Amino acid sequence: MTTANIRFIGGGNMATSLIAGLIADGYAPHAIQVSDPSPERRQSLQASLGVRALASNAEALAEAETLVLCIKPQLAAAVCAELAPLLANHRPLIVSVMAGVPEQTIQRWLGAPLPIVRAMPNTPAMVQTGAIGLHASPEVDTEGRNRAETILRAVGLVRWVDEEAQIDAVTAISGSGPAYFFLFMEALEQAAIELGLDGETARLLTIQTALGAAKMAMESDAPPSRLREQVTSPGGTTERALAVFDEADLRALVERAARAARDRAVELSKTLSEAP
């Protein structure tokens, strides 16, 4: 099995995170190429990551063993139409990280039932702490599954899901999830400043607290509810803060937000699968 020769179509935020994570894990920059229409972005990818950045998607595809589609869902039909004629005699493993673009839709656009792995990573892949959901189309053989898993495992924790529709749930939880935690960090940092801490102290205490809580939750046998109880002294300070979250029904709010993200992925899937 080889994981060498990975080509990315689209060199934006997610591709940059994945490539940075792969290189940090020991992948040779020369084994990775990326295509993107923006000269500035290509220059930045070459300068910061040492990978070859191309203007042409066709050139990126030419010898690809694994082709990672990292473009916006709304551009996918056009990009796949451009790649389709080149895939008549060449069957790379396609890994799509696009939210809300079904495997069969990608196959239709590419004009062939090519092996597709849908991957839903997140930007912490950049620091090899990604959380990644995977689903394989029936055309993907064991070697393809292993190859996709090896690539994504290099940048984080990997979970396969049984049903393709579950990728929409993964998108809502871990794909979009870093933004939820960043928002909470922004809010806590702002609160710290309002309570009289200086900006740097507010920032560092907030980030370290998030890191510590995540590390404890990951390493402990106890569920987060138990870890929360251990912080919450009866009649103490945490109890007062948590009562404010309860008043605002934080749990219901989080569920609503996750459902909204999942529903948007489903909406994208429907729109795109009905598009020509």
Ligand X SMILES: NC(=O)C1=CN([C@@H]2O[C@H](COP(=O)(O)OP(=O)(O)OC[C@H]3O[C@@H](n4cnc5c(N)ncnc54)[C@H](OP(=O)(O)O)[C@@H]3O)[C@@H](O)[C@H]2O)C=CC1
Ligand Y SMILES: O=C(O)[C@@H]1CCC=N1
Q: Which residue is nearest to ligand Y (CB)?
A: 175
Report in angstroms how near the CB of residue 151 gets to ligand Y at its nearest. Answer: 18
Q: Which residues lie below 8 Å from residue 231, measured CB to CB, with a gap of 6+?
A: 238
Report in angstroms how near the CB of residue 214 gets to ligand Y at its nearest. Answer: 19
- Please tell me whether 21 is known to bind a ligand: no
Among ligand Y, ligand X, none, partner that 35 touches (CB below 5 to 8 angstroms by kind): ligand X
Q: Which residues lie below 8 Å from residue 136, measured CB to CB, with a gap of 6+?
A: 115, 116, 117, 118, 144, 145, 148, 160
- Please tell me whether 50 is known to bind a ligand: no
> Phi-psi category of 128—alpha, beta or left, where left has phi over 0 and alpha has psi -120 to 50?
left
Q: In what order do the strands lie in the sheet with 32-35?
A: 52-54, 32-35, 6-9, 66-69, 93-96, 116-120, 130-136, 156-160
Size of the site for ligand Y (CB under 6 A): 4
In the chain, the amino acid numbered 201 is T
Q: Which of 20, 34, 49, 99 contacts ligand Y by CB under 6 A?
A: 99
Cα gap 35→50, rounded to integer Å = 14
- Please tell me whether 57 is known to bind a ligand: yes
State the residue for tokens 């396609």. Answer: 94
Binding mask 157-176 for ligand Y (x = CB under 6 A): --------------x---xx
Residues that bind ligand X (CB under 6 A): 9-15, 35-38, 41, 57, 70-73, 75, 79, 97-99, 120-123, 175
- Please tell me whether 11 is known to bind a ligand: yes
Report in angstroms how near the CB of residue 99 gets to ligand X at its nearest. Answer: 3
Sign of the dihedral defined by the CA atoms of residues 257, 258, 263, 265, in that order: positive
Nearest one of 129, 131, 125, 177 to 14, comparing CA atoms: 125
Say if residues 203 and 189 touch (Cβ distance below 8 Å).
Answer: yes
- Please tell me whether 5 is known to bind a ligand: no
Residue 83 token pair: 């790649």
- Please tell me whether 9 is known to bind a ligand: yes
Which CB atom, from 55 or from 78, has the smaller least distance to ligand Y? 78
Report in angstroms how near the CB of residue 243 gets to ligand X at its nearest. Answer: 33
Among ligand Y, ligand X, none, partner that 177 touches (CB below 5 to 8 angstroms by kind): none
Report in angstroms how near the CB of residue 203 gets to ligand Y at its nearest. Answer: 24
Q: Which residue is nearest to ligand X (CB)?
A: 12
Residue positions forming the annotated binding site for NADPH: 57
Q: Which residues bind ligand Y (CB under 6 A)?
A: 99, 171, 175-176
